[in-house]
Structure 1
Amino acid sequence: MPCQVELITETMMFMIHTFAGDKAYLTKEDLRVLMEKEFPGFLENPKDPLAVDKIMKGLHQNRDVRVRFQSFVLLIAGLTSTCNDYFVVHMKQKGKK
């Protein structure tokens, strides 16, 4: 039975390949669809095309319109870190009551 980290790793690998299709990268449109389906709560306004543009711009500086696996992992790490920060602050506030 795989451990949780192995399952998470496998999930990320399958997720990018599912949305990328036969390509080894996600296009801006692929990323938009992935974010709307897999991370709807993380986008302030999922219908806002600028949200995906901001994410794409933050992933790489070379203006390449492709998100490869390494950049995708960085995106997931950033989202996870942000969620953890929110959780820690929320738990501290809850503990003060």
Structure 2
Amino acid sequence: MTDLNTAMCLIISTFEKYAGKEGDKHTLSKLELKELLQNELGELLGKASDKAAVDRIFDDLDSNKDNSVDFAEFGKMIFCLTVMCHEYFCKK
């Protein structure tokens, strides 16, 4: 597989690793999202253990307000974080 195909597979498998622990295997609950943020993005986000920060992230991601984060909503976060990292490293 190409590097990009591998990256996409890793994003999908990471989502699936955390989704469904509390119910629907196609969405993340707030607790599942918090665990994912802490375990997978803790160094990047820094405040992944801050309940208020996780609540804000969850509310921002849950665009359809169904009290869960689906893969498309999760993907938007991953893309935004990737853009921010790209911009940061381009400035260095």
Q: Which has the higher contact order (CA 8 A, sep 6+)?
A: 1
Aligned-residue identity in percent: 30
2:7 alignment partner AA: I
1:3 alignment partner AA: T
Equivalent residue for 1:14?
Answer: 13
Whether the aligned pair in 2 keeps the contact of 1:43 and 1:51 (CA below 8 Å) is: no
Equivalent residue for 1:74?
Answer: 76
The superposition leaves residues 31-69 of structure 1 with CA deviations (integer Å, 9 ceiling, x where unpaired) of: 000000000122232321111111112213332221111
Equivalent residue for 1:94?
Answer: none
> Cα offset for 1:86?
1.2
TM-score in terms of structure 1 length = 0.82
Q: Which residues of structure 1 form unaligned runs of 5+?
A: 92-97
Moved runs in structure 1, 4+ residues, more than 4 A? none
* SS across alignment from 1:39: helix
Count of aligned positions: 89
Equivalent residue for 2:89?
Answer: 87
Whether the aligned pair in 2 keeps the contact of 1:32 and 1:52 (CA below 8 Å) is: yes
Whether the aligned pair in 1 keeps the contact of 2:28 and 2:70 (CA below 8 Å) is: yes
Superposed CA RMSD: 1.4
Greater Rg over alpha carbons, structure? 1
Whether the aligned pair in 1 keeps the contact of 2:62 and 2:68 (CA below 8 Å) is: no
